[in-house]
């Protein structure tokens, strides 16, 4: 049995911790560039909705990655329509259902059969694929950016790459602490994001007064992919992305099919599963305000165009592991960090 075969999940999960460490050491030696700085290697066990994976978390050049074992027989895609969904997901959760005309002309989303057709057409086809072992970045990055640290907009403190941040610190302070009249200050709130092209970009951390701070360089899809490759990384293909998101489970969503986030008893638990790490320790954007690009030219995952029909499965379908948005990315389109995300990977292939 060669090294790649031993990295298949069916074999990997039967190994002892000691054997996993030995095998992982060989993977680092043969498949990760010696120019990369490897730190903070830790054997972790992740779990989501009954799927467990014990694997390694590590930092590559100060960025967090997870090693995902391969799968020679991964089943991806969806053709089961509404199977596995309850009325809480398929029926309107509001007396005011607003279905856009572009959907009304093709579907009757209040009819189960038509809704099933809609779900099948908006998700990728059922297929069996071979997924290579791979190192995958835990958090996606806004397009054209590199992570620098976290800035507290209230007390002005910064944690991270301070030597880079100091170059534009005063500029950011001025933007976040403007001189306002008493009436203006009542209405003012921190902006959701800020961008100075080819310099920096900032995203407001949800439910806080802090910002994620990034350096920024303007990119098209073509130029960003070229730069990622120059750093000895790849993007994930659509198949690899779907597997990294949901592990090939026979559910529409990685956390199960429960979408009732407003339930007084289970709502908080559902939101935590949606927003938390998955069975591989990865995090995915759930804002439905940005696409994530892939290695496959033109192919996007997630969405930046959220539906608001009042039917939970229609409004949340873009968060499915198998969702396939209508939008096709043009090669020379400028990638706005407000609209696109990317995720680096290292594929373990011979």
How many C-beta atoms surround the C-beta of residue 163 within 10 A? 8
Phi-psi region of 196 (alpha: psi -120 to 50; beta: other; left: phi over 0): beta
Adjacent-strand bridge partners of 91: none
Per-residue tens of pLDDT for the chain, all 350 residues: 789 999 999 999 999 999 999 999 999 999 999 999 999 999 999 999 999 999 999 999 999 999 999 999 999 999 999 999 999 999 998 888 999 999 999 999 999 999 999 999 999 999 999 999 999 999 999 999 999 999 999 999 999 999 999 999 999 999 998 888 888 778 888 999 999 999 999 999 998 999 999 999 999 999 999 999 999 999 999 999 999 999 999 999 999 999 999 888 999 999 999 999 999 999 999 999 999 999 999 999 999 999 999 999 999 999 999 999 999 999 999 999 999 999 999 999 97
Adjacent-strand bridge partners of 193: 203
DSSP run (H or E) holding 165: helix 162-165
Determine the Cα–Cα distance for residues 198 and 201; give it in Å rounded to an integer: 9
The total number of residues shown for the chain amounts to 350
3-state secondary structure of 133: coil
Determine the Cα–Cα distance for residues 47 and 36; give it in Å rounded to an integer: 29
DSSP run (H or E) holding 178: none
Model pTM above 0.85: yes
Determine the Cα–Cα distance for residues 285 and 289; give it in Å rounded to an integer: 9
Determine the Cα–Cα distance for residues 123 and 118; give it in Å rounded to an integer: 9
């Amino acid at each position: 049995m060669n090294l790649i075969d031993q990295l298949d999940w069916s074999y990997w999960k039967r190994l002892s911790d000691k054997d996993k460490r030995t095998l992982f050491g060989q993977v680092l030696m043969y498949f990760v560039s010696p120019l990369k700085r490897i730190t903070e290697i830790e054997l972790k066990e992740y779990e989501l909705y009954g799927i467990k994976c014990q694997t390694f978390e590590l930092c590559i050049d100060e960025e967090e990655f997870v090693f995902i074992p391969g799968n020679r027989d991964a089943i991806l895609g969806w053709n089961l329509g509404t199977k596995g969904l309850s009325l809480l997901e398929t029926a309107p959760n509001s007396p005011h259902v607003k279905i856009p005309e572009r959907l009304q002309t093709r579907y009757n989303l209040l009819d189960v059969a038509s809704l099933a057709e809609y779900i099948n057409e908006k998700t990728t086809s059922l297929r069996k694929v071979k997924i290579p072992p791979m190192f995958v970045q835990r958090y996606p990055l806004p397009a054209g950016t590199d992570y620098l640290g976290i800035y507290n907009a209230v007390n002005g403190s910064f944690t991270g790459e301070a030597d880079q941040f100091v170059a534009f610190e005063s500029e950011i302070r001025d933007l976040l602490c403007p001189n306002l009249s008493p009436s203006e200050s009542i209405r003012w709130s921190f902006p959701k994001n800020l961008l100075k092209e080819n310099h920096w970009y900032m995203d407001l951390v949800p439910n806080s007064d802090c910002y994620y701070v990034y350096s920024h360089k303007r990119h098209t899809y073509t130029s960003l992919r070229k730069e990622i490759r120059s750093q000895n990384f790849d993007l994930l293909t659509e198949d690899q992305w779907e597997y990294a998101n949901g592990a090939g489970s026979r559910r529409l969503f990685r956390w199960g099919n429960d979408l009732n986030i407003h339930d007084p008893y289970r709502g908080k638990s559902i939101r935590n599963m949606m927003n938390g790490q998955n069975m591989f320790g990865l995090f995915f954007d759930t804002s439905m305000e940005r696409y994530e690009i892939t290695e496959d030219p033109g192919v996007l995952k997630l969405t930046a165009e959220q539906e608001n029909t009042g039917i939970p499965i229609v409004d949340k379908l873009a968060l499915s592991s198998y969702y396939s948005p209508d939008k096709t990315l043009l090669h020379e389109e400028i990638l706005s960090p407000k609209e696109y995300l990317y995720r680096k990977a290292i594929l373990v292939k011979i």
